[in-house]
Amino acid sequence: MKLLGYDDAMHNFSSSFKADKMHHAWLLCGEKGIGKATFARLIAQAVLANKNIESFSFEHNDHLAMKIEHGSHPDCHILTEDDKGTIGVDEVRQLIKFMHLTAAEGAYKVAIIDSCDGMTVNAANALLKILEEPPAKTLLLLVCNSLGKLLPTVRSRCRLLRINTPTTQVFASAIKTTTGKEFSIKEIIDLYNLSHGSIGLALNIIEHDALDLVFQIQKQIQNKPSLDQVLEISQLVASNQDLWGIVSYFIPYFLQEQIKTLSKDGKNYGPLLEDLSKCNRAIRDCEKLHLDKGSVVMNLLGAM
């Protein structure tokens, strides 16, 4: 496994590690889907293996990597968001207990929070205890998609490591390396623009062959909806519910883009703001109540 476009971040962390002056908590901040969680896991591998960190390049089937990924390494704890996208205070308290245990296999205990944006206020306040008084030889890695969602008191106690959005060249190389496929320049640019450089989101679009579908959704929101195309999109989702993740991401995304455009032009965006609120509520209800996804898409796009 080799992360592309992370040279600066790797250098900043490795310099601290090699100098034995490693901060106890690092905030890995950048756009969603650009590989921050993977980077955090590679840091964990390097620290737990006590390797001289240079390239953060590991084989995917590496025994240590597999133990970390499967949650079976006794000195690594990964805390992720629940189905509602939140991390509660009880989960953070369990992480704190883990950090106070003696390392079983090496010198360090490593914990990853992916992502810290989802922490409730109570969870974030609980985390402050270990940020203020960290046990010796512990490392906490907080994956963050939006600094604005994090309590200032948490931010101030972490060392910020900004992860830049990859350039189009790095993006294209990563897409080609991961998929083993060739893409035209136009396809790469389209994928890059739609995903804002998020390799994870772009790969999801490619996996489901959904580039044309995303453009159809964009067209429906930017122009007067075509009922025939709305029906086509809803039938696609009904027949392949794996597409729901892409559709439920891009419908509110394109609405937000429209609102930004109208706001810059000084035009009334009130009706679209109301549409966005209804859209987000319908998506939450669909996932919570297990509603028919094709019908929900039909209602969302047909009402635009």
State pLDDT tens for residues 51-79: 765 555 555 557 888 888 888 999 999 99
pLDDT at residue number 114: 92
129 contacts 135 by C-beta, under 8 angstroms: no
One-character DSSP codes across 106-148: SS-EEEEEETGGGB-HHHHHHHHHHHHSPPTTEEEEEEES-GG
Whether residue 17 contacts residue 42, with contact meaning beta carbons closer than 8 Å, is answered with no
Angle between helices 270-289 and 244-264 (to 10 degrees): 160
What's the pLDDT score for residue 2? 58
Single pTM value for the model: 0.76
CA 276 to chain centre: 21
Asked if 191 and 206 count as a contact pair (C-beta separation under 8 A), the reply is yes
Distance CA 285, CA 84 (A): 11
Q: Contact, 35 vs 192, CB < 8 A?
A: no
* Owner of token pair 């109301």: 274
Per-residue pLDDT reduced to its tens digit, 114-142: 989 999 999 999 999 999 999 999 999 99
What pLDDT does residue 164 have?
86
